Amino acid sequence: MELIINNAQDQKQLGECIGKAITDTTIILLDGELGAGKTTLTQGIGRGLDIEETINSPTFTIAKQYEGSRELNHLDVYRLEGLDEDMGIEDYVYDGSVLIIEWSKFIDTDIFDEYLHIQIDYLDEARKIKFTPYGTYYEELLEKVSKCII
């Protein structure tokens, strides 16, 4: 599934649709250039998960946790590029929790059997968002999201 998003507000609304559609332990891997809107999308997902705390990029802390209708673990692994050691990232996945990893291209994604990959690319002022589900749960999640955004 691919979408064109015209502004940050629409990107947050898309994220909110994703957050509201989540029904189980969920792993979302985000990639895109600096400023593409990875954190903006995550803020929307947090809103859909009823998180009231301000979500910002964990670039310097690597990981942040938020509480809402589900626990959200938000990782930014940009600073881990080139490290070949086991980071224990899979330890951030709990029953019913949501794990969002920004800059997932810098980690070994083979540690996850199933997940949703989201690629955000610039199109002048707009963004192209491409969703790639790995697993039945994520295919069903995208089906719910597509109904929300229509």
Using one digit for the tens of pLDDT, what is the confidence trace for 21-45?
Answer: 999 999 999 999 988 899 999 999 9
Best mean pLDDT range from 36-40, 84-88, 104-108: 36-40
Span 119-139, pLDDT tens digits: 999 988 899 999 999 999 999
In whole angstroms, give the CA distance from residue 136 to residue 81.
30
- Beta-carbon contacts of residue 58 (< 8 Å; ≥ 6 apart): 64, 74, 75, 76
CATH fold of 2-81+91-144: Rossmann fold (3.40.50)
- Residue 63: pLDDT band (50, 70, 90) is confident
User: What pTM was estimated for this model as a whole?
Assistant: 0.90
The confidence score (pLDDT) of residue 95 equals 77
**Residue 95: DSSP 8-state:** T
The confidence score (pLDDT) of residue 150 equals 54
In whole angstroms, give the CA distance from residue 69 to residue 76.
22
